[in-house]
Amino acid sequence: MLNFLATIGHSAISKVAGFGRASIMMFHALCVWPQPKTSIPLIIVQLYNIGVKSLLIIAVSGLFIGMVLGLQGYTILVDFGSEDSVGQMVALSLVRELAPVVTALLFAGRAGSALTAEIGLMKATEQLASLEMIGVDPLRRIIAPRLWAGFISMPVLSMIFAIVGIYGGALVSIEWLGVYSGSFWSVMQSAVDFHDDILNGVIKAVVFGLAVTWVAVYQGLESIPTSEGIAQSTTRTVVYSSLLILALDFVLTALMFGDI
Amino acid sequence: MRTRTIEILVGLFLVGGLLAAGLLAFSVSGLSGANSATYKIYAHFDNIGGLSNKAEVTLAGVQIGQVSDIKLDPQMLLAVVEMEIFSDIDFLSSDSSVQILTSGLLGGKYIGLSVGAEEDFLIEGSVIEDSQSALVLEDLIGQFLFDKVSD
């Protein structure tokens, strides 16, 4: 019985300690005197690795999700004779929910896992320790640019996802299903509010970007420096960040649209 | 050369993001700046029944403007609807009439404008006298029941 209690206590303490270490890492990486000369080129390289390389999967998924929404929305709405509202349905569901959430899930799989594996391997091959030996802070040199690139890439990717999806939905409903294009766009424009819908969607994307990169980088730093350990950390990154995204999405949606 | 390619691609990526933000703002949410010139006309209604801001104003089914404000006139106890009409539509006669219509069975409300025969035109600040209120389903049902009872 006491052993059982001790197990629970031990795991709780180690969780809290892990969260504390993650917060300290984030603080040391981000809250430093800015040195734009050295840090901006590093951030650009990471933006390429994290953002540009994720663009293809994001754009293709956005296109198909938008097209499916158009098809599904049309088949339901046509029963009520209000197939003109399909634009509103596609735009609102993409901008409010699907763009930030699906982009973040794909981002966790595409960029988050790569971040963890890269940093884990750097740790296993003692590159991080060597950097420290020659007097370079690995938090500033390695971790900070990746965090910033993640924060910047996520909202950009999410907006690209949304716009590609909306044009995909427009393609299906206007060109194939024959919804009148004027009413498609005007119903959408009168329903979507810039502040309430689009800005809130972007805020969600920023929060998810923060969550995914933070989890990924921390898991990389904490990984056991063996090939098995790196594999475990990579899996954990994807699982933890996906769960975190979905839970945060519920909280944010309740705060933004729930009128609580 | 390698760094330069990366920089160009990252630049393209960020410009793509800005472009997406612009499209979302202007083409999806219809956030229009003051770029399109409009003039304002007003109409009084007994009942606007669910008309909302940004609803279309149409002539012969073609959009010629949008509803920009809805207020209550405290003296007459009528709804005052302010409409922004595109400046290039400057040939609406001053005895035009407006009507609140519904697109489809469940669609949104919009304003239909019918042109009259007068020689002078609506200008900034004109008030349309002839208006027909929204069709409120409850009123119709009430009227129908009332007719049944009186039969």
Contacts with A156 (C-beta within 8 Å, 6 or more apart), sequence order: A51, B13, B14, B16, B17, B20
Distance of CA A129 to the CA centre of its chain: 29
On whether ipTM exceeds 0.95, the answer is no
> Mean pLDDT: which of A126-135, B49-58, B108-117 is highest?
A126-135
Which of A84, A160, A193 lies closest to B17 in CB terms? A160
- If pLDDT is split at 50, 70 and 90, which confidence band does A140 have? confident
The burial class, CB within 10 Å (0-12 / 13-18 / 19+), for A111 is buried
CA distance B34 to chain A (A): 16
Give CA–CA dist A99/B23, Å, rounded.
15
Q: Which two tokens stand for residue B79?
A: 């709804």
Contact call for B107 and A162, based on CB within 8 A: no
Which of B13, B29, B108 lies closest to A194 in CB terms? B29
Give mean pLDDT, residues B122-142: 80
Distance of CA B31 to the CA centre of its chain: 14
Is residue A47 within 8 A of residue B13, CB to CB? The reply is: yes
Quick check: A7 pLDDT over 70?
A: yes
Note the pLDDT of residue B34: 47
- If pLDDT is split at 50, 70 and 90, which confidence band does B146 have? confident
Taking one residue from A and the other from B, the number of pairs with CB-CB distance under 8 angstroms is: 96
- If pLDDT is split at 50, 70 and 90, which confidence band does A248 have? very high
Choice between B39 and B132, residue whose per-residue pLDDT is larger: B39
Contact call for B16 and A156, based on CB within 8 A: yes
Give CA–CA dist A154/A92, Å, rounded.
19
Choice between A256 and B135, residue whose per-residue pLDDT is larger: A256
Q: In what order do the strands lie in the sheet with B38-45?
A: B127-128, B38-45, B78-86, B62-73, B56-59, B109-114, B97-102, B130-132
List of chain A residues whose C-beta atoms are within 8 Å of the C-beta of residue B107: 82, 84-85, 187
Is residue A259 within 8 A of residue A196, CB to CB? The reply is: no
Which residue, A234, A64, A79, A32, is CA-closest to A165?
A64
Contact call for A156 and B14, based on CB within 8 A: yes
Render pLDDT for A188-245 as a digit per residue (tens, 0 to 9). Answer: 887 888 888 889 999 999 999 999 999 999 999 999 989 899 999 999 999 999 999 9
Give CA–CA dist B128/B113, Å, rounded.
10
Mean pLDDT of chain A: 90
Render pLDDT for A30-79 as a digit per residue (tens, 0 to 9). Answer: 888 878 888 888 899 999 999 999 999 999 999 999 999 999 999 998 88
Quick check: B93 pLDDT over 90?
A: no
Neighbours of B107 (CB within 10 A): 17
List of chain B residues whose C-beta atoms are within 8 Å of the C-beta of residue A82: 104-107
List of chain A residues whose C-beta atoms are within 8 Å of the C-beta of residue B21: 159, 202
